[in-house]
């Protein structure tokens, strides 16, 4: 998606996981569409995952979000087969190897080659130093000691623990311990990094730091990250796409964060979304509108005035030849230009503040409220891309959309 | 009612004796070989420790206690060693220590792998569990006799009896330690592609270490008490001193031998416990 080519790194097809003995009957019932509670009543088995279909693309942060008991931890463990699925396919990598069909040797090989994992409870070994913990994965791969040392200290640098290699794990705070866990996951240079509620055990402030750190690391590393959380705000902040796992062990919606927030597909998702701090999530571009007309600075005021009259506009945006934003031409300014006999409108533009399309609504709210016009929007290269108006913004912030 | 029941006498004891006889008649060479190995091991430790003059050996022991268990224990050890020497029990105490070492080494060499197997294999656990109960509850005196039948009298049957007595805690605590390793830690190993062997060596055993050290400590303590009882079947050392003291109504020598055993047990306990604490990183 990011590179313009669709390349799925993980493809999950018709995946079922049923806990309990003799799962055949429960599986048949689940395939016939019975609910989790109905199946539990008739067979005593628990359907943890019910017909999961997902395609996770290379280089994206894919967040799987659900409440406790939704089966999200089971789902991430099916991806590297820490839990064997009852039925279905999990295809890994470009070669689309089905991890469910591998023998023990092939499974171990694939895990070494493709996966790193970060755990909720950190999973660090207290008898090892920080560096020794980071290189555990490399040690398992039987890398040579120089390679281990180099990759280990590099990974520590990446997570900001440079110089802590010789410390004991017990000397570190929770946040630092999870940095070690992250470094251990990155040290093996995996194609896919599985993160099972990695920040849930951390204090809110440290959690936020870690989230930002993860985004920074991802900017450089471009790994495929599969991230589990029960916190929708975390999901929205981190995810390129989010899958919402419902109470029934089924995927309810897979979408980018804004789509989830603005167009929840069912009531369950809508209930989640209700309490999210939208101004800090929804981006300017989601309410972006295209003007019916824009002027070049060399347009004559007479032309501009007649076009604006024709289109019934009070004002219009002026854009330079290179596409950058120049200013706003109002009807009054156009008339003034005509009375003064100006040849073009370039000196009669009101220079107003533009906002970036990737900013969040919350961060541009003050501009929206104080501006005399609908606020012009530019992209990262300052090219004018459209405008936003106050009423759209407010209807989103009030949750009407 | 019960009196009138005519319960036939089953020849359980006889059959067991028959079995023991059969084994000792037909596997002579086997038991002799084991006897020889044990005797040699005991001799080795005995002569290695006797090689040092008592003062030098005491200095080594004090250094070890000081490095592991610090000051109080070192002071106690110094007094205890001086008393053992002044009671003229130095050489027999060394014999006892040799017996304890050999018995503990064998008990651990068998017990720790069996503990690992017990944690890993449900079927083995089902078989070994009643055997462990049997070993731990059978009065210690009653397996001195089969030990004698197989190995004659002297140090080897004493060591064998001690091994049997000291092994259960090593097996049980090793197993417990491994069972207590959290599922998440095992998942860490699996997720990075560890083989079952790598998981055992890199994750399970290190995390089970505090419990295993406790097992080692318990094995040594039980060995301390059992080598004395083994004096009944001619094992040397302090056990012999105590038994012969009791037989000759010589309370002095029995008490002195008993005290030396207690000193020995306390010293060994403190050292192994302190080593165990080092492996417990949560403290």
Does A1 reside within a domain? no
Q: What is the per-residue pLDDT for A34?
A: 82
Instruction: Specify whether A111 is located in the same domain as A33.
Output: yes
Instruction: Specify whether A293 is located in the same domain as A228.
Output: no
* Residues 6 or more apart in contact with residue A28 via CB below 8 angstroms: none
Instruction: Specify whether A32 is located in the same domain as A147.
Output: yes
Distance CA B149, CA B151 (A): 6
What is chain A's mean pLDDT, rounded?
Answer: 89
- Is B122 an interface residue toward A (CB < 8 Å)? no
Does B113 reside within a domain? yes
Burial grade of A13 (CB within 10 A; 0-12, 13-18, 19 or more)? middle
pTM for this one? 0.78
Q: Which of A276, A309, A343 is the last residue of a domain?
A: A276
Nearest CA to B58 out of B274, B282, B267, B279 is that of B267
DSSP class of residue A168 equals: B
Instruction: Specify whether A248 is located in the same domain as A294.
Output: no
CATH number of the domain where residue B221 is located:
1.10.3720.10
Nearest to B184 among A112, A123, A194 (CB): A123
Instruction: Specify whether A293 is located in the same domain as A364.
Output: yes
What are A182-235's pLDDT values in tens digits?
Answer: 999 999 999 999 999 999 988 888 888 999 999 999 998 899 999 999 988 899
Distance CA B99, CA B218 (A): 16
Q: Do B187 and A123 touch (CB under 8 A)?
A: yes
What are A39-77's pLDDT values in tens digits?
Answer: 888 888 888 999 999 999 999 999 999 888 888 999 999
* Residues 6 or more apart in contact with residue A239 via CB below 8 angstroms: A61, A62, A63, A65, A227, A256, A257
A-B contacts (CB, under 8 Å): 70
Does A83 reside within a domain? yes
Q: Do A119 and B203 touch (CB under 8 A)?
A: no
Does B86 reside within a domain? yes
DSSP class of residue A44 equals: S
What are A70-104's pLDDT values in tens digits?
Answer: 889 999 999 999 999 999 999 999 889 999 999 99
Nearest CA to A222 out of A59, A65, A75 is that of A59
The complex scores an ipTM of 0.77
Does A2 reside within a domain? no
Q: Do B198 and A126 touch (CB under 8 A)?
A: no
Q: Do B194 and A116 touch (CB under 8 A)?
A: no
How many angstroms separate the Cα of B44 from the Cα of each of A152, B32, B81, B241? Answer: 46, 18, 22, 21
Domain count along chain B: 1
What are A153-183's pLDDT values in tens digits?
Answer: 999 999 999 989 999 999 999 889 999 999 9
Does A329 reside within a domain? yes
Residue A1 has pLDDT above 50, yes or no: no
Q: Are strands A375-378 and A355-356 parallel, antiparallel or unpaired?
A: parallel
What are B51-76's pLDDT values in tens digits?
Answer: 999 999 999 999 999 988 888 999 99
Is A61 or A261 the better-scoring residue by pLDDT?
A61
Q: Do A140 and B202 touch (CB under 8 A)?
A: yes
Instruction: Specify whether A29 is located in the same domain as A132.
Output: yes
Instruction: Take residue A340 and report the two structure tokens written for it.
Output: 């003064």
Q: Do A80 and B182 touch (CB under 8 A)?
A: no
Domain count along chain A: 2
CATH number of the domain where residue A311 is located:
3.10.580.10
Instruction: Determine the distance in angstroms separating the CA of A109 from the nearest CA of chain B, rounded to an integer.
Output: 7
Residues of B in contact with A155 (CB under 8 A): none
Does B261 reside within a domain? yes
> How many CB atoms within 10 Å of residue A395?
12
Residue numbers of the domain that contains B103: 14-278
Instruction: Specify whether A160 is located in the same domain as A56.
Output: yes
> What are A324's strand-pairing partners?
A383
Does B8 reside within a domain? no
Q: Do B189 and A168 touch (CB under 8 A)?
A: no
Q: Which of A234, A253, A276 is the last residue of a domain?
A: A276
Instruction: Take residue A326 and report the two structure tokens written for it.
Output: 């120049």
Q: Do A140 and B191 touch (CB under 8 A)?
A: no
Residue numbers of the domain that contains A247: 8-276
Instruction: Specify whether A254 is located in the same domain as A386.
Output: no
Distance CA A174, CA A201 (A): 8
Instruction: Specify whether A362 is located in the same domain as A340.
Output: yes
Residues of A in contact with B206 (CB under 8 A): 125, 127-128
Does B6 reside within a domain? no
Q: Which of A243, A276, A309 is the last residue of a domain?
A: A276
Does B182 reside within a domain? yes
Instruction: Specify whether A254 is located in the same domain as A341.
Output: no
Residue A370 has pLDDT above 80, yes or no: yes
Distance CA B174, CA B115 (A): 5
Instruction: Take residue B220 and report the two structure tokens written for it.
Output: 């040594």
Residues of A in contact with B210 (CB under 8 A): none
Q: Look at the block and give the residue holding tokens 């755990």.
A: A119
Instruction: Specify whether A164 is located in the same domain as A298.
Output: no
Q: What is the per-residue pLDDT for B37?
A: 94
Instruction: Determine the distance in angstroms separating the CA of B184 from the nearest CA of chain A, rounded to an integer.
Output: 6
Residues of A in contact with B184 (CB under 8 A): 119-121, 123
Does B167 reside within a domain? yes
What are A290-347's pLDDT values in tens digits?
Answer: 888 899 988 889 888 899 999 888 899 999 989 899 999 998 898 898 998 888 888 8
How many angstroms separate the Cα of B51 from the Cα of each of B36, B45, B280? Answer: 22, 10, 36
Instruction: Take residue B176 and report the two structure tokens written for it.
Output: 């417990």
Does A3 reside within a domain? no
Check: CB of residue A100 under 8 Å from CB of residue A81. yes
Residue A7 has pLDDT above 50, yes or no: yes
CATH number of the domain where residue A179 is located:
3.40.50.300
What are B205-246's pLDDT values in tens digits?
Answer: 999 999 999 999 999 999 998 888 888 888 888 988 998 888
> How many CB atoms within 10 Å of residue B80?
19
> What are A392's strand-pairing partners?
none
Does B126 reside within a domain? yes
Instruction: Specify whether A138 is located in the same domain as A41.
Output: yes
């Amino acid at each position: 998606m990011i590179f313009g080519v669709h390349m799925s790194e993980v493809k999950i097809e018709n995946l079922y996981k049923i806990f309990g003995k003799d799962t055949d009957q429960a599986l048949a019932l689940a395939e016939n569409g019975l609910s989790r509670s109905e199946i539990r009543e008739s067979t005593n088995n628990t359907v943890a995952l019910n017909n999961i279909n997902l395609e996770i693309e290379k280089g994206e942060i894919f967040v799987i979000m659900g409440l406790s008991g939704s089966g999200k931890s089971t789902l991430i463990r099916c991806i590297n087969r820490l839990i064997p699925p009852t039925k279905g396919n999990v295809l890994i990598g470009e070669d689309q190897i089905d991890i469910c069909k591998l023998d023990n040797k092939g499974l171990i090989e694939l895990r070494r080659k493709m996966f790193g994992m970060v755990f909720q409870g950190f999973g660090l070994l207290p008898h090892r130093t920080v560096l020794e913990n980071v290189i555990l994965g490399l040690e398992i791969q039987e890398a040579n000691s120089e390679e281990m040392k180099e990759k280990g200290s590099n990974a520590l640098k990446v997570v900001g623990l440079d110089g802590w290699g010789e410390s004991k794990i017990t000397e570190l705070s929770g946040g630092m311990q999870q940095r070690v866990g992250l470094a251990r996951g990155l040290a093996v240079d995996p194609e896919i990094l599985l993160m099972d509620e990695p920040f849930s055990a951390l204090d809110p402030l440290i959690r936020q730091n870690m989230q930002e750190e993860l985004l920074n690391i991802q900017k450089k590393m471009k790994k495929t990250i599969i991230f589990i959380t029960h916190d929708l705000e975390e999901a929205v902040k981190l995810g390129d796409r989010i899958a919402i796992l419902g109470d029934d062990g089924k995927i309810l919606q897979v979408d980018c964060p804004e789509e989830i927030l603005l167009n929840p597909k069912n009531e369950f998702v809508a209930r989640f979304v209700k309490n999210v701090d939208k101004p800090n999530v929804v981006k300017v571009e989601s309410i972006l509108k295209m003007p019916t007309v824009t002027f070049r600075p060399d347009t004559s005021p007479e032309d501009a005035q007649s076009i604006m009259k024709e289109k019934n506009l009070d004002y219009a945006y002026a854009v330079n030849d290179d596409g950058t934003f120049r200013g706003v031409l109002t009807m009054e300014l156009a008339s003034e230009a005509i009375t003064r006999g100006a040849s073009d409108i370039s000196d009669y533009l009101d220079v107003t503040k533009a906002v970036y399309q990737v900013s969040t609504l919350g961060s541009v709210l003050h501009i929206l409220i104080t501006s005399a016009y609908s606020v012009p929007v530019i992209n990262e290269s300052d090219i004018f891309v459209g405008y936003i108006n106050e009423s759209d913004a407010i209807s989103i912030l009030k949750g009407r959309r | 009612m019960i009196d009138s029941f005519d319960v036939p006498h089953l020849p359980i004891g006889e059959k067991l004796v028959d079995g023991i006889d059969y084994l000792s008649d037909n596997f002579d060479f086997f038991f002799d070989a084991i006897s020889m190995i044990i005797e040699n091991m005991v001799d080795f430790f005995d002569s290695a420790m006797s090689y040092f003059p008592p003062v030098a050996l005491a200095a080594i022991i004090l250094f070890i206690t000081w490095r592991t268990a610090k000051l109080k224990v070192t002071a106690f050890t110094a007094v205890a060693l001086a008393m053992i020497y002044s009671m003229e029990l130095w050489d027999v105490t060394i014999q006892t220590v040799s017996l304890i070492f050999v018995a503990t080494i064998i008990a651990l060499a068998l017990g720790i792998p069996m503990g690992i197997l017990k944690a890993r294999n449900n079927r083995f656990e089902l078989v070994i569990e009643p055997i462990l109960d049997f070993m731990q509850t059978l009065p210690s005196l009653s397996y001195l006799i089969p030990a004698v039948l197989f190995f004659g009298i002297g140090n080897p049957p004493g060591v064998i009896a001690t091994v049997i007595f000291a092994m259960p805690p090593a097996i049980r605590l090793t197993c417990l330690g491994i069972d207590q390793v959290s599922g998440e830690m095992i998942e860490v190993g699996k997720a990075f592609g560890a083989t079952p062997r790598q998981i055992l060596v890199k994750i399970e055993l290190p995390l089970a270490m505090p419990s295993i050290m406790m097992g080692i400590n318990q094995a040594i303590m039980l060995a301390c008490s059992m080598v004395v009882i083994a004096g009944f079947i001619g094992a040397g050392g302090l056990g012999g001193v105590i038994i012969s003291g009791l037989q000759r109504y010589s309370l002095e020598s029995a008490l002195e031998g008993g005290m030396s055993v207690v000193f020995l047990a306390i010293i060994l306990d403190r050292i192994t416990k302190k080593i165990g604490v080092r492996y417990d990183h949560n403290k």
